[in-house]
A and B are shown apart, each in its own frame.
Chain A
């Protein structure tokens, strides 16, 4: 049951082969049996899930229902869920019971998806290994001595371990795609503004975007269909029509123009990962695609640009956590300043503090032009690289991450080394483009992700390109031992 797609499970539900309550119980039992070791969930909402499943079963009997009706999913703990703890992986929000639903939460609930619980994540989505969580690291189901990637590490591990059919994630610099790659699942970061950010706890507002994490492109299309769309509650939501993401999945790739940026295949890329990517590109050649080398000459500026822009926005966004209206408050504050300083000092973990301080510094008097303004300009250069590339090619492909999953504790003490995990994913966020990761041939016995980057609002094209690959290969069906 746990290895079936959303479409397969939906067909089973509609044919009355099993009920949503049975399906939900099946996954809740798997969580109970298997998640102790993985730590992929912060909160399990068993009672609410079973109630939602009962409601879905009643709806299914009427014969009218959405494709997600009765399907068990997991929400990243960055999405506000009414009446449920929404921690964002932080001590700061360990006591935060959200009084409202995020738009993403609400849309999925309305479509009848059954939320099993909230996924562990790097604190405030700041991290690439899920080791900065207040609730402890998540383990990679392929090798529990290794990280699942981050920041949506709990979502990725849970889907890879078949603890849910699908999960939501968010991606500010690679946080959907990199854990999807390291855990061997399919993840999609949509175009900036495609999915509402309302009720999604903000990290860097000009970069954050939510998306689906699933076993296949076909499932991702179904989830994105429900998640995407204009929302008047999000002032940066794009008022663009939402196409039917499933309709074109099988379109031919004959003549598809694929660009391989030479900068994504250089120094730092594990040769075993490179070989897996090359063999995936060969599959596309066989499907009739034309492959050519391209250049994104400002790629080297992406990580430095990001580590000005993202911390600057984070220092501003996280100023709301002041110990006054919600969240953590220190004991016995002497005065208001002491209340702010100790609540924030005790409520935030080290990586969040580092980023708040970098952002505070970059925005402080006398430094604004040298850091923030400069980074906004280099961001333009990075964005222009893609504009030129998409004049020549339909999609860009390369590795999602430079290596396979690394060991727990291996990089956590060296922030700069950790940041370089996102060397291939960050530019996409800076440009606001959609990007995807899908599993290809494993290397070193661990999953490898192929990244596909598309032009603005080309999610349907990305899903089509990914789906055709998954029709030719079975890499996305591999299951970690012990979790089959």
Chain B
């Protein structure tokens, strides 16, 4: 599988990552090489194999729905890029 510039641009958009224009060709080459490595999987016969979701085949543990933590808003917001009156600020979404 070989990726071109437009594939890289599309994937970068899906991942919400801005790409430096001058780097896109290099990413296309590297990503194509990695997908080339991964192609080896195609030859493996997995017709009667179940997908492995967990290394120890454990079921997801559930916990009771109760409050176990106190209020950490101030500590958590102290490291935020931009807060005001206890709210996280982002650029205006709705005009």
Asked if A and B are interacting partners, one says yes
Number of chain A residues close to chain B: CB under 8 A:
75
Given A344-B15, A376-B51, answer yes or no on A354-B30 (Cβ-Cβ < 8 Å).
yes
Contact call A354/B34, Cβ cutoff below 8 A: yes
Contact call B56/A324, Cβ cutoff below 8 A: no
Q: Does A329 contact B (CB under 8 A)?
A: yes
Residue of A nearest to B20 (CB): A345
Residues of chain B within 8 A (CB-CB) of A371 are 38, 41
Q: Kindly provide the distance from the CB of B77 to the nearest chain A CB, expressed in whole angstroms.
A: 8
Contact call A358/B31, Cβ cutoff below 8 A: yes
9 contacts between A and B (CB under 8 A): A97-B79, A207-B55, A301-B41, A307-B37, A329-B81, A346-B18, A378-B44, A415-B33, A432-B56
Q: Does A348 contact B (CB under 8 A)?
A: yes
Residue of B nearest to A348 (CB): B17
Residues of chain A within 8 A (CB-CB) of B14 are 360, 364
Using a CB–CB cutoff of 8 Å, the interface residues on chain B facing chain A are 3, 7-8, 11-12, 14-20, 23, 27, 30-31, 33-42, 44, 46, 49-56, 58, 60-61, 63, 72, 75-76, 78-82, 88, 90-93
Bound together, the chains give a CA A209 to CA B80 distance in angstroms of 28
Apart from A206-B53, A308-B38, A373-B51, what are 14 other A-B pairs with CB-CB below 8 Å?
A301-B44, A304-B37, A304-B39, A307-B37, A327-B81, A334-B91, A340-B16, A344-B17, A361-B35, A377-B49, A378-B44, A432-B54, A433-B55, A456-B56
Q: Does A192 contact B (CB under 8 A)?
A: yes
Contact call A378/B41, Cβ cutoff below 8 A: yes
Q: Kindly provide the distance from the CB of A101 to the nearest chain B CB, expressed in whole angstroms.
A: 12
Residues of chain B within 8 A (CB-CB) of A342 are 18
Residues of chain A within 8 A (CB-CB) of B60 are 235
Interface centre among B18, B78, B92 (most CB of A within 10 A): B18
Q: Does A292 contact B (CB under 8 A)?
A: no
Q: Which of A301, A326, A345 contacts B40 (CB 8 A)?
A: A301
Interface centre among B56, B61, B72 (most CB of A within 10 A): B56
Bound together, the chains give a CA A348 to CA B16 distance in angstroms of 12
Bound together, the chains give a CA A323 to CA B17 distance in angstroms of 12
Given A329-B82, A342-B18, answer yes or no on A238-B56 (Cβ-Cβ < 8 Å).
yes
Q: Kindly provide the distance from the CB of B2 to the nearest chain A CB, expressed in whole angstroms.
A: 12
Q: Does A339 contact B (CB under 8 A)?
A: yes
Contact call A99/B75, Cβ cutoff below 8 A: yes
Given A325-B88, A339-B90, A377-B46, answer yes or no on A383-B55 (Cβ-Cβ < 8 Å).
yes
Using a CB–CB cutoff of 8 Å, the interface residues on chain A facing chain B are 95-97, 99-100, 191-193, 206-207, 232, 235-236, 238-239, 298, 300-301, 303-305, 307-308, 315, 319, 322-329, 333-342, 344-346, 348, 350, 353-354, 356-358, 360-361, 364, 371, 373-381, 383, 415-416, 419, 430-433, 456
Q: Which of A235, A307, A340, A358 contacts B61 (CB 8 A)?
A: A235
Contact call B76/A99, Cβ cutoff below 8 A: yes
Give me the 6 closest cross-chain CB pairs, A-B, nearest first: A432-B55, A345-B18, A376-B51, A329-B81, A377-B46, A380-B52
Contact call A232/B63, Cβ cutoff below 8 A: yes
Contact call A430/B18, Cβ cutoff below 8 A: no
Residues of chain A within 8 A (CB-CB) of B33 are 415-416
Q: Kindly provide the distance from the CB of B25 to the nearest chain A CB, expressed in whole angstroms.
A: 13
Residues of chain A within 8 A (CB-CB) of B42 are 374
Contact call A99/B79, Cβ cutoff below 8 A: yes
Q: Which of B15, B50, B80, B82 contacts A315 (CB 8 A)?
A: B15
Residue of A nearest to B63 (CB): A232
Contact call A336/B93, Cβ cutoff below 8 A: yes
Interface centre among B14, B16, B49, B78 (most CB of A within 10 A): B16
Residues of chain B within 8 A (CB-CB) of A322 are 16
Contact call A431/B55, Cβ cutoff below 8 A: yes
Residue of A nearest to B60 (CB): A235
Residues of chain B within 8 A (CB-CB) of A327 are 81
Contact call A99/B56, Cβ cutoff below 8 A: no
Given A298-B44, A341-B16, A341-B18, answer yes or no on A307-B34 (Cβ-Cβ < 8 Å).
yes
Q: Kindly provide the distance from the CB of A195 to the nearest chain B CB, expressed in whole angstroms.
A: 14
Q: Kindly provide the distance from the CB of B78 to the nearest chain A CB, expressed in whole angstroms.
A: 7
Bound together, the chains give a CA A298 to CA B46 distance in angstroms of 12
Contact call B90/A192, Cβ cutoff below 8 A: no
Given A325-B80, A329-B81, A383-B52, answer yes or no on A344-B44 (Cβ-Cβ < 8 Å).
no
